[in-house]
Amino acid sequence: MKKKKTDFGAQFWSGTRKHTALGLLETFFQFNDLAEVKENLSTMVQYSVQKNARIREDSAEIFHLYQSLRSLVRACRLIGKKAEKGSFKAISETHVPRTMTGFLSAEEYRDPVRVFRSAFKACSPEEYDEFLSAMVYFSLGDQRCEEERKIVIPYLRLMKMLDAAWLIVERASAQKATGK
């Protein structure tokens, strides 16, 4: 059966319009380093809530990050939906190293798709889009986001999604390398 490719709005940053959900995650991590993305995301959130403070990064880099994170959220949503239907099976891990879980709990480390399902129960895809737009707007401008609570939950969930997406990509590439 041929894999269905979806338009996640990734043409601007990845060079191609259609991806599979897992393929988009792989492409995301080819273009972006996990630690750097998390650091930039934290910096953007920090500048979003400070008054009269503007992020020093190049606005083109911020926009590139915004576009790629938006596509990542869409791919995570699709993976979560497919997992609920049973058409996506991520490789689970039984051993949980103490230093490698990042924002994830032991259960989430074992089953990273669980992060996607819970993330979209907490916030809708539109709320993630609003969060990303507000974060870019307020971090590049002199204004401050007055409703900090509106950005905290999506921020924490997005950090978990990044860790879970990275785990899924790493496990899929390890599986390809071993030929299983």
Report whether pLDDT(106) > 70: yes
Res 102: pLDDT? 75
| Domain spans of the chain, in order of start | 6-178
Cα separation, 160 vs 108, whole angstroms: 9
pLDDT averaged over every residue in the chain: 83
Cα separation, 159 vs 110, whole angstroms: 17
158 to 7, 41, 59, 123, 177: CA distances (angstroms): 20, 9, 21, 10, 28
> Pick the residue with more confidence: 28 or 143?
28
Report whether pLDDT(120) > 90: yes
Ranking 4-13, 61-70, 74-83, 139-148 by mean pLDDT, the lowest is: 4-13
Cα separation, 14 vs 23, whole angstroms: 11
SS3 for 131? helix
Beta bridge partners, 19, equal: 6
pTM of the model: 0.85
The percentage of the chain sitting over the pLDDT mark of 70, rounded to a whole number, equals 84
